[in-house]
A and B are shown apart, each in its own frame.
Chain A
Amino acid sequence: MHISDGILTSEVAIGSAIIATSFLLYSFKDLKNKNIAIVSSMSALFFIASFVHIPLGFVQIHLILIGIIGIILGAQVFLAIFIALLLQATLLGYGGISSLGANLIIMSLPAYLIYLASKYGFLNFFSEKIKYFMIGFLAVLLSTLFLALILALSKEEYLYASYTVFLANVPAMFIEGLVTLFLINYLKKSIPDLISEAKL
C-alpha cells in the first residue's frame, strides 16, 4: 500500500507532506526519553510485518498491524511509522522520499484514529472478538480509503486505479482483522496488563 515516488502531483505531494509534518511534530512534542524504546520496537514491528506474506489464493498479501500498534502508541504512532517508512524507502525501495508524507498519512492516521476510537469507547458496541477483529479490519479499511483518496486527488486519471486498489485490498482487510483478533487473544494471555491498560 505504499505510493512510489513520481506517482503523485506536486500539489498533493507537498500538501500531504505539510499535513504529515504537522502530525509528526504533534507526535514528537510529547515524546519522552522513556518512550523511545517502545516507539522503536513498534516501528520495528511494522517494518518486520512487511516481510511476512500470507497467501490468498494465487496472490500474497502482507500485514501492516497498524491497528494494534496505534492502540499501544497513541499519538507517538506518527513517529514510529515515519521511521519505518523512511527505512523502507531507503533500504528496501518501498514507497519513496517525495511520497513519504502521503504514505505517512495513509499508514499512521488510521492507526491514530483506531486509537481514538478505542480510547473513547466507540468500539465497545461490539462484542470482544468482533472488537479485536475490527481493530485490524478498520485500520486497513481506513488506510485503503486514504490511499484511494490521495490517488484520486492527485490525478483524475487515477480514479480507476483508486477503485482497483480499494477492491484489491478488501481481502487484506479481512485477513488483517482475523490476524489481529488472534494476535490480541495471544497478548491477552501473555501480557494481560498491557491489554487492560489499553482498555481493550
Chain B
Amino acid sequence: MIFLSPTISFVSAIFYSIFISFSNVELLYLLPILYVLFCEYKNIFQIFKRLIFLNLFILMIFIVLLLQTTFEEAFNIYLRTNMIILFNLTVFYRSSGYDIVRALNDLKFPNKVVSSIYFTLKMIQILSDELKSIRMTLRARGFRANSSLFTYETYGNLFGHIFVKSIKKAQALEESFNLRGFHGRIYLINQIKISYFDLILLFLISMLYVKGFVV
C-alpha cells in the first residue's frame, strides 16, 4: 500500500468534493478515484462495504428524482455522490483522525480550532471505550433494546452517564491546561513529507479543474 500525505489527502478531498459536487459526471473524473484505490488496494473490499452502507439516503434521493425527473439527472446525482464518498472513504481509510489535525495545522488553521479537534479526538477515544464497556454490562445483564419506554430510559441513563463522564474529563483537562500554562496551542511534531505519489494525486485533481475551466 502507498502512504499519501494527510495534508495533500485533505486538500485533495476538499477540491475533489467541490468539483464533482457541481459537475456532470464524466469518465475522466474516475481517474483520481482509481488512483487512490490503487494506493489502498489491500482495503478495497472494506471500503466498498462502507460505501454500500452509506447508500441508504442517496438511494432515497435517487428514487424520488427518478419519479420526478429524467433517469439521466437522477443517475448523475447518484453517481457523483457515490464518487465523492468513495474518494473520501479511500483517502481517509487508514486515518485515525490525528493526521487530519496535523493537516489542519500545516494548512495554518487557527490554533484554537486545531487544539479543539485534537482534544475532541482524545475525548472520542475515551467516550467510545466507556460506551463499549456500558454496552457489555447491559448485555451481561440481559438487556435487549426494543421500542419501549424502558429502552429509552436505559439509553437516557447511558448517555447521562457518558455526559457526566465527558463533563468531568473536560474539567480535568481544563485544570491540566491551567497547570501547564496552555495558551490555546498544541505543539505537533511535524513528520509530514510530500512524496511523488502525493504530487500525482495533486496533478490528477488539478487536471479536473483545468479541464473544467478550459473545455
In the complex, how many angstroms separate the beta carbon of B14 from the nearest chain A beta carbon? 5
Contacting residue for A37 out of B88, B157, B161, B174, CB 8 A: B174
The verdict on A13 contacting chain B, using a C-beta distance below 8 Å, is yes
The verdict on A43 contacting chain B, using a C-beta distance below 8 Å, is yes
Determine whether the beta carbon of B162 is less than 8 Å from that of A45.
yes
In the complex, how many angstroms separate the beta carbon of B179 from the nearest chain A beta carbon? 13
Determine whether the beta carbon of B123 is less than 8 Å from that of A183.
no
In the complex, how many angstroms separate the beta carbon of A93 from the nearest chain B beta carbon? 5
In whole angstroms, how far apart are the Cα atoms of A184 and B157 in the complex?
9
Determine whether the beta carbon of B110 is less than 8 Å from that of A182.
no
Determine whether the beta carbon of A93 is less than 8 Å from that of B160.
no
Contacting residue for A84 out of B120, B157, B160, B167, CB 8 A: B120
B95 and chain A: residue at smallest CB distance: A91
Determine whether the beta carbon of B13 is less than 8 Å from that of A43.
no
The verdict on A104 contacting chain B, using a C-beta distance below 8 Å, is no
Determine whether the beta carbon of A97 is less than 8 Å from that of B14.
yes
Mostly, the B contact residues are: helix
The verdict on B81 contacting chain A, using a C-beta distance below 8 Å, is yes
Contact with A along B141-165 (1 / 0, CB 8 A): 0000111010111011111111110
The verdict on A75 contacting chain B, using a C-beta distance below 8 Å, is no
Contacts of A41 in B (CB 8 A): 119, 123, 166-167, 169-170, 173
In the complex where A41-B166, A84-B120, A96-B88 touch, is A175 in contact with B60 (Cβ < 8 A)?
Answer: no
Contact with A along B108-133 (1 / 0, CB 8 A): 00101101110111111011100100
In whole angstroms, how far apart are the Cα atoms of A55 and B120 in the complex?
28
Determine whether the beta carbon of B51 is less than 8 Å from that of A93.
yes
Mostly, the A contact residues are: helix
Interface contacts (Cβ under 8 Å), in number, total 229
Determine whether the beta carbon of A93 is less than 8 Å from that of B50.
yes
In whole angstroms, how far apart are the Cα atoms of A68 and B164 in the complex?
12
Determine whether the beta carbon of B156 is less than 8 Å from that of A40.
no
Contact with A along B87-101 (1 / 0, CB 8 A): 011001001010010
In the complex, how many angstroms separate the beta carbon of B99 from the nearest chain A beta carbon? 10
In whole angstroms, how far apart are the Cα atoms of A178 and B156 in the complex?
8
The verdict on B137 contacting chain A, using a C-beta distance below 8 Å, is no
Contacts of A31 in B (CB 8 A): 112
B96 and chain A: residue at smallest CB distance: A91
Determine whether the beta carbon of A52 is less than 8 Å from that of B112.
no
In the complex where A51-B131, A52-B155 touch, is A90 in contact with B100 (Cβ < 8 A)?
Answer: yes
In the complex, how many angstroms separate the beta carbon of B157 from the nearest chain A beta carbon? 5
In the complex where A4-B58, A41-B123, A44-B124 touch, is A87 in contact with B117 (Cβ < 8 A)?
Answer: yes
Contacts of B88 in A (CB 8 A): 5, 89-90, 93, 96-97
- 13 A-B contacts (beta carbon < 8 Å): A28-B112, A34-B178, A43-B123, A45-B163, A48-B124, A55-B145, A89-B88, A91-B95, A98-B21, A160-B67, A182-B156, A182-B160, A183-B160
A residues sitting closer than 8 Å to B (CB atoms) are 2, 4-10, 13, 28, 31, 33-34, 36-45, 47-49, 51-52, 54-57, 63, 65, 68, 79-80, 83-84, 86-87, 89-91, 93-94, 96-99, 157-158, 160-161, 164-165, 175, 178-187, 190-191, 194
